[in-house]
Amino acid sequence: MRAITVLPGQANSAQLTDMPDPPLDDGPVLVETMAIGVCGTDIEIVGGLYGTAPHGAERLVIGHESLGRVIEAPMESGFAAGDLVVGIVRRPDSVPCPNCAVGEWDMCRNGQYTERGINGRHGYASERYRIRPEFAVKLDASLDRVGVLLEPTSVVAKAWEHVERIGRRAHWEPSVVVVTGAGPIGLLAAMLGRQRGYEVHVFDRVTNGPKPQLVSDLGATYHAGSVHDIVGRADVVIECTGVSALILQILGSTAPDGIVCLTGVSSRGTPVQLDIGLANRQMVLGNDVLFGSVNANRRHYETGATALAAADPAWLGRLITRRVPLDQWQTALQREANDVKPIIEFAS
Ligand SMILES: [Zn+2]
């Protein structure tokens, strides 16, 4: 079978490789891959900046955002041929740490977790893969064109879950949500905010392309200017850019009792001036919370699947701005203007 593989650490080593069929050891559920989503992590892996091959292997099959259809599954697995499925990315560490031991591998304490398509395990960018049922999530059959969005949705489902758990520290009636960044994560975070009935504001730099309309079609407000005016009203901020200057504008500037969730991974090496005394003062006097959130566990995938099934399928379809067939896979791994989410289609 064909798979998209890289030599981790080597830029431009990506190729379509002929691989043996997936080993039975990977699990009893055999899945035909339909589509793979491409994100910044994949572009870093292909650029040689990130990723590790499985133990004993030279190459790594990439692909962590997936959608597939079950080919065969044992009766007791809960899956049947024809089911739409998405594979979970992270696997618990083998120690396991206290969090991995209870299925919260997204909160792993020792960093020894593995991740399909990223870190020590082959990903889903192969024509077929095998998986254990506890790491596969069934999707509503209506999501066969857009289910590849589940992995990024699971990331924002976790962010929202943690925002709400923090909110329950006291009486909490949020109304205004600010999302910074209108990429897939920001747009899906905004969608979950609208599903909760909040007033949602989304900030991005661009003034053209599909993003402004995608935001307004959610019933949210798009801003291409400064967050400064609105962040003071924000009860919740979901930061999806990792841009230092933006984080500085948000820190300590929300409405009282504000909760800021950081989901963007910044690059190092751009020092900015921060009056930490002022930020500390504002955060203490405002009961502010600032926290980071990454990855997702099974519960978040299931919440994400419910959120996708409740969303407008046409709107979700517009997030997928390019559908590239497998024989042109390389073009999906290059950024293009107006990209929201490019995907590689394996089979339909
Ligand atoms: Zn762990």
**Could you list the pLDDT tens digit for every one of the 348 residues in the chain?**
999 999 999 999 999 999 999 999 999 999 999 999 999 999 999 999 999 999 999 999 999 999 999 999 999 999 999 999 999 999 999 999 999 999 999 999 999 999 999 999 999 999 999 999 999 999 999 999 999 999 999 999 999 999 999 999 999 999 999 999 999 999 999 999 999 999 999 999 999 999 999 999 999 999 998 898 899 999 999 999 999 989 999 999 999 999 999 999 877 777 888 899 999 999 999 999 999 999 999 999 999 999 999 999 999 999 999 999 999 999 999 999 899 999 999 985
pLDDT at 345: 98
pLDDT at 270: 76
Report the C-alpha gap between 223 and 247 in whole angstroms: 16
Between the CA of 26 and the centroid of ligand 1 the distance, in Å, is: 20
Residue type, 159: A
- Structural contact between residues 36 and 152, judged by C-beta atoms closer than 8 angstroms: no
Report the C-alpha gap between 105 and 44 in whole angstroms: 23
Between the CA of 95 and the centroid of ligand 1 the distance, in Å, is: 7
* Pure H helices in 50-174: 98-101, 150-167
- Structural contact between residues 272 and 244, judged by C-beta atoms closer than 8 angstroms: yes
Neighbours of 116 (CB within 10 A): 27
| Cα-only R_g, the chain | 20
Q: What structural domains does the chain harbor?
A: 2-139+312-345 (3.90.180.10), 154-292 (3.40.50.720)
Structure-token pair, residue 3: 């798979």
60 vs 29, 47, 186, CA distance in Å? 21, 13, 29
Between the CA of 86 and the centroid of ligand 1 the distance, in Å, is: 22
Between the CA of 82 and the centroid of ligand 1 the distance, in Å, is: 33
Tell me how many helices (H) and strands (E) the chain has: 11, 19
Between the CA of 156 and the centroid of ligand 1 the distance, in Å, is: 21
Report the C-alpha gap between 186 and 203 in whole angstroms: 9
315 vs 1, 29, 48, 137, CA distance in Å? 33, 31, 34, 22
Sheet holding 221-223, edge to edge: 221-223, 199-203, 176-180, 236-239, 259-262, 289-292
Between the CA of 222 and the centroid of ligand 1 the distance, in Å, is: 39
Element (H, E) at 65: strand 65-72
Q: HSE (CB half, 13 Å, CA atoms) of 329?
A: 26
Distance between start and end Cα atoms, the chain: 16
Report the C-alpha gap between 317 and 5 in whole angstroms: 27
Between the CA of 122 and the centroid of ligand 1 the distance, in Å, is: 19
Peptide bond into 96 cis (omega under 30): yes
SS3 label, residue 4:
strand
Of 133, 88, 27, the residue nearest 298 (C-alpha): 88
Question: Any residues with CB less than 8 A from the CB of 175 and at least 6 apart, and which?
Answer: 198, 199, 235
pLDDT at 347: 80
Between the CA of 272 and the centroid of ligand 1 the distance, in Å, is: 33
Q: What is the pTM of this model?
A: 0.97
